């Protein structure tokens, strides 16, 4: 059976751990050359080395998604090493808990810089790189773009922005005839390092995790592999008629 991403060059941001690392691993299984972009360069190198040890094509690169020059440098490096990118996954993100009343503007801007500015800069840079050949951009949003949590206002707003940005950019590229498909992916809860960090200062973490699991009609949280499979679908030719779509993978969380 032909591999679904055979020979494609993919850049995955925030892929030194969590969902990004799982997406990178899934892509190389399907034949892609994957570049892991992350500010945690040592971790990114480790993930890339582990993938290469398994016989896959993977490299690492330092990428600060909130910095426009970092994006330009990353894409130039990828192009020089492997050729222009065919797939971008804007996965890098940070989370924090806080309501409208107890979220500082400094924290608000920190979340927006990574979660929303990073997607804007990455999408813009990738379009410039892909417009003559086409490609696929997958923006990792969240169920928090669709349903609210009063205690995560900055995160929710940033992910809602990713949803709207995706739709606007997707329609633009379609009407320009670029052959670039842009879609957003909306995972339910997956117990990654980001969740652990966001809840690190709470003393009720076991109860919180139990309540999160109960909120999914399927009776559990998701796995990184399940989200990676959805990202693979959006990146592949199987999603050729999906433009500006929001793919929800959440165990039924937003259905009730």
* Separation CA 14–CA 22 (nearest Å): 11
**Which of helix, strand or coil describes residue 170?**
helix
Residue 172 to residue 169: CA distance in whole angstroms: 5
From the list 155, 178, 189, 253, the catalytic residue is 155
28, 20 in Cβ contact below 8 A?
A: no
Report the alpha-carbon distance of residue 35 to residue 28 in Å, rounded: 10
Q: CA 99, 103, 108, 110: dihedral to nearest 10 degrees?
A: -120
Active site residue 253: no
Say whether 254 sits in a helix, a strand or coil: helix
Structure tokens at 39: 């500010």
The token duo for 158 is 């940033």
Instruction: Just list the catalytic residues.
Output: 155
């Amino acid at each position: 059976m032909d591999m679904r991403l055979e020979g494609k060059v993919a850049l995955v941001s925030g892929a030194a751990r969590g969902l990004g690392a799982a997406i990178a691993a899934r892509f190389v299984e399907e034949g892609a050359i994957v570049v892991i972009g992350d500010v945690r360069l040592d971790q990114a190198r480790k993930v890339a080395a582990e993938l290469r040890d398994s016989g896959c094509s993977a490299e690492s690169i330092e990428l600060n998604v909130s910095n426009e020059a970092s994006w330009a440098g990353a894409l130039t490096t990828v192009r020089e090493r492997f050729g222009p990118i065919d797939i971008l996954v804007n996965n890098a993100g940070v989370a924090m808990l806080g309501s409208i009343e107890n979220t500082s503007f400094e924290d608000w801007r920190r979340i927006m810089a990574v979660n929303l500015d990073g997607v804007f800069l990455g999408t813009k840079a990738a379009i410039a790189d892909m417009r003559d050949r086409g490609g696929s951009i997958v923006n990792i949003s969240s169920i928090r773009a669709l349903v609210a949590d009063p205690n995560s206002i900055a995160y929710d707003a940033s992910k809602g922005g990713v949803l709207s940005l995706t739709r606007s950019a997707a329609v633009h590229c379609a009407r320009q005839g670029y052959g670039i498909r842009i879609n957003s992916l909306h995972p339910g809860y997956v117990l990654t390092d980001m969740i652990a960090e966001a809840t690190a200062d709470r003393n009720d973490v076991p109860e919180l995790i139990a309540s999160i699991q109960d909120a999914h009609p399927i009776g559990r949280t998701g796995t990184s592999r399940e989200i990676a499979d959805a990202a693979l679908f959006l990146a592949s030719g199987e999603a050729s008629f999906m433009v500006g779509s929001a793919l929800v993978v959440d165990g039924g969380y937003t259905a009730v």
